[in-house]
Every structure is written in C-alpha cells, then in structure tokens.
C-alpha cells in the first residue's frame, strides 16, 4: 500500500509539472512596443517578434506577418493617427521595456516613461542609410543574438548592392528608364531626398519626380496627372494593386508610355511593403532592377531570391503560393 500511495503522489506531481507550462505560457522576458508598422518586421527578423506586446493597426493587417506571428492578433494597438501619437497609459500598463519609434512621433510625458524604466529609442527615417542604421541599432538594443543577425543582414544588403551595380554597368545612362512611383494614392509620390529616391537610385531608375519637391521638407506630396503625363514615365510602380488597376484603367492615364506598354507593376509586399522602411528593403532595389532591365539581370530569379531571403532572415520556408503572394500581392 505504501508503494502504491508513493506512486500516486509521484504521478500527481508529474501531471502538475507537465500541465503548468501549457496552461500558463511564459511571458516574454523583454517586452517590446512599437507603433511604427515597418519596425515590427525588423523586430521579427531579429528574432524578437514573440516579444512584441504593443503594435500598430497596420502591422496587424499584413497577411504574411499575421501568418508567421499569429499571436499578433491579440497584441493591442498602442498608437493613434497612424502611430504618430502614443497612448502612454497603455504603454505603461503593458509593462513595456523598450519602445521603438521614429523621430517624428510625438511622445507625451516622456519623464513618466523614463521613471517607469521604459527605454525609448527614436530613429531617423526616409533614407536607405537611416534604415540600415536602424536595423543595426535595433539589434544592439535587443541583445547579442539580434546584433549578430543585424550584422548578417548588413552583409547581405551590401552584397545585393554589389550584384546590382555589377550588372548595371551593362546599362548605359541613355538606356536608364523613367519611373514613377505612387504611394498609396495614384497621385502621391516622392522625390529627392527620400527612401524611395534611394532605392530607385540603387536600381538604376530615373525618378521622374526627383526634383518636384524642392521646398518640401519631406520631399513627398500630391501631384497632378498633368505633371505625370508631361514626363511620360516608361514604368510605373504602384504601392498597392488598387492603384495599379486604377492607373491601368483610367482614361486619363492611357497616353502614358508605361500604361500603353503594359509596364505598370504592383510593389511586392511580405512582412511589409518592400518599398517602405522594412528590412525587406534589401530586396526592393534588386527586384526593381530585374523589372527595369531584364536582359542585364537575366541570371537573377526573384522567386529564388525571395525564398532565400525569408529563409535566412526570418527562418521561414515559403510555399510557392506564398512567394507568388509576395511578388504579386492582392
């Protein structure tokens, strides 16, 4: 009987020991919040997606991001007006350790956050150099493992620049194509200086809007269809499919070279839009170069490049359909 009771006690202890973790999953050791949609993709790449306890509404709507981080559906939104204003009370209630923002965001009651031990990291944006620096600094803030992944990313980024530059040597300046990029609205675009200008430069594109915003601090804004018609872009890159379809179907755009020749493209979107402040920017200029100059980049297969990137940096083995959804998003 004594042995029987001892066995029952051991069984009870074992059941309790094995059932507790399933019933009470451990909370992340480092609690991260960011209202910056694209920063979520960078945090995910660096291995800390599961540590995000406050996010943005846009990040929660990206299909691939939700597939790869399903718990994001239950993570609260911490910013309003597109993430440009913060709910400080909510950030404190989430016991946030690190808050990542861009330097244009308004942070009320900063002293309250500091007293609560919330580390606020504000980064510059809207340039390729700023993006690469942000990946580096984010990695350093998250820890040695993330810092090493950030360094690996930088090496990959530099190698892609080298690969593109080598092939662009075979494309003379006179053959470089005029490109118009629409940003969430067919008539909204950007010039120099801007992140969009940077990836166009790297891809060997001639941005038709390069000098359209000389007095505008952010080098972007709404333009007229007459301006676009006058410069007659040979290729149009729309940030989303809705705008691409509008441009292709609108009578007002039919005289434009890109529309007449079927060269209106929807920008790829993975964890975020490749063209906007995400770690996937390392693929953006490579993709655009293959679109603009297919002969010079005939040896580059963007399906393979996409699969390799997400495997190396996100640990994801994409299905053929997922690759299609990234390169030709709905």
pLDDT at 153: 99
Looking at 58, 91, 123, which one is the last position of a domain?
123
Mean pLDDT value of segment 132-160: 99
Q: Cα separation of 239 and 236, whole Å?
A: 10
Sign of CA dihedral 188, 193, 194, 198: positive
* Residue 299 burial by Cβ neighbours in a 10 Å radius (0-12, 13-18, 19+): exposed
Last residue of a domain, one of 102, 123, 144: 123
Displacement of CA 269 from its chain's centroid (Å): 8
Return the SS3 of 236: strand
Whether residues 118 and 188 share a domain: the answer is: no
Q: Per this entry, what is the length of the chain?
A: 330
Residue 291: closest CA among 181, 208, 188: 181
Domain coverage including residue 67: 32-123
Instruction: Please indicate, yes or no, if residue 96 is contained in any of the structural domains.
Output: yes
Residues 225 and 114 placed together within one structural domain of the fold: no
Q: What percent of the chain has pLDDT over 70?
A: 90
**Alpha-carbon span 316 to 318, nearest angstrom:** 6
- Per-residue confidence (pLDDT) for residue 73, from 0 to 100: 96
For residue 88, the domain's CATH number is 3.40.50.1980
In terms of domains, do 322 and 186 share one?
yes
Tell me whether residue 2 is in a domain: no
pTM of the shown model: 0.90
| 223/110 same-domain check | no
Q: Are residues 278 and 199 in the same domain?
A: yes
Counting the structural domains of the chain, the total is 2
Residue 18 pLDDT greater than 60, yes or no: no
DSSP state of 280: T
pLDDT digits (tens, 9 = 90+) for 265-293: 999 999 999 999 999 999 999 999 999 99
Same domain, 210 and 309: yes
pLDDT tens for each residue of 287-321: 999 999 999 999 999 999 999 999 999 999 999 99
Distance CA 321, CA 29 (A): 35
Residue that terminates a domain, selected from 91, 123, 155: 123
CA distance 324 to 85: 35
Domain co-membership, 229 together with 286:
yes
Per the domain annotation, does 137 fall within a domain? no
Handedness of CA 281, 282, 283, 285 (dihedral sign): positive
**Does residue 151 fall inside a structural domain?**
no
Shared domain check, 323 and 179: yes
Q: How far is Cα 119 from Cα 114, in angstroms, rounded to an integer?
A: 7
Position 24 pLDDT exceeds 70: no
Same domain, 37 and 110: yes
Task: Answer whether residue 48 is part of any domain.
Answer: yes
Q: Answer yes or no: is 15 within a domain.
A: no
Phi, psi of 122 (to 5 degrees): -110, 130
Task: Please give the average per-residue pLDDT across 51-76, as a whole number.
Answer: 97
Residues 118 and 176 in one domain: no
Confirm whether 18 is domain-assigned: no
pLDDT grade for 26, boundaries at 50, 70 and 90: low
If we measure between CA atoms, which residue out of 323, 313, 275, 326 comes closest to residue 45?
313
114 and 220 part of one domain = no
Output the six-digit token pair for 113: 């956050």
**In the structure, what pLDDT confidence band is assigned to residue 13 with cuts at 50, 70 and 90?**
very low
Assigned domain for 295 exists:
yes
State mean pLDDT over 143-162: 99
194 and 70, same structural domain? Answer: no
């Amino acid at each position: 009987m004594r042995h029987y009771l001892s066995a029952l006690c051991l069984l009870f202890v074992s059941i309790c020991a094995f059932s507790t973790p399933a019933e009470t999953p451990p909370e992340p050791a480092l609690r991260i919040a960011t209202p910056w949609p694209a920063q979520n993709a960078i945090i995910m790449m660096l291995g800390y997606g599961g540590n995000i306890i406050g996010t943005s509404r846009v990040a929660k709507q990206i299909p691939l991001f939700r597939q790869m981080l399903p718990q994001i559906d239950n993570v609260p939104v911490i910013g309003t007006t597109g993430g440009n204003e913060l709910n400080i009370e909510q950030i404190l209630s989430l016991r946030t350790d690190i808050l990542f923002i861009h330097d244009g965001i308004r942070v009320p009651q900063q002293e309250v956050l500091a007293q609560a031990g919330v580390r606020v990291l504000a980064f510059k944006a809207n340039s390729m150099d700023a993006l690469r620096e942000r990946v580096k600094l984010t990695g350093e803030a998250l820890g040695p493992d993330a810092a090493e992944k950030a360094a690996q990313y930088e090496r990959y980024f530099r190698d892609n620049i080298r690969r593109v530059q080598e092939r662009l040597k075979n494309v003379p300046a006179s053959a470089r194509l005029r490109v118009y990029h629409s940003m969430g609205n067919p008539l909204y675009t950007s010039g120099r200086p801007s992140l969009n200008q940077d990836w166009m430069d790297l891809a060997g594109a001639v941005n038709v809007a390069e000098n359209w915003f000389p007095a505008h601090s952010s080098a972007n804004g709404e333009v007229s269809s007459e301006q676009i018609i006058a410069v007659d872009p040979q290729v149009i890159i729309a940030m989303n499919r809705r705008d691409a379809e509008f441009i292709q179907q609108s009578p007002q755009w039919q005289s434009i070279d890109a529309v007449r020749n079927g060269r209106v493209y929807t920008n790829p979107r993975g964890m975020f839009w490749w063209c906007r402040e995400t770690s996937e920017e390392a693929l953006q200029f490579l993709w655009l170069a293959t679109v603009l100059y297919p002969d010079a980049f005939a040896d580059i297969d963007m399906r393979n490049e996409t699969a390799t990137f997400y495997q190396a940096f996100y640990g994801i083995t994409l299905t053929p359909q997922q690759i299609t959804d990234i390169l030709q998003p709905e």
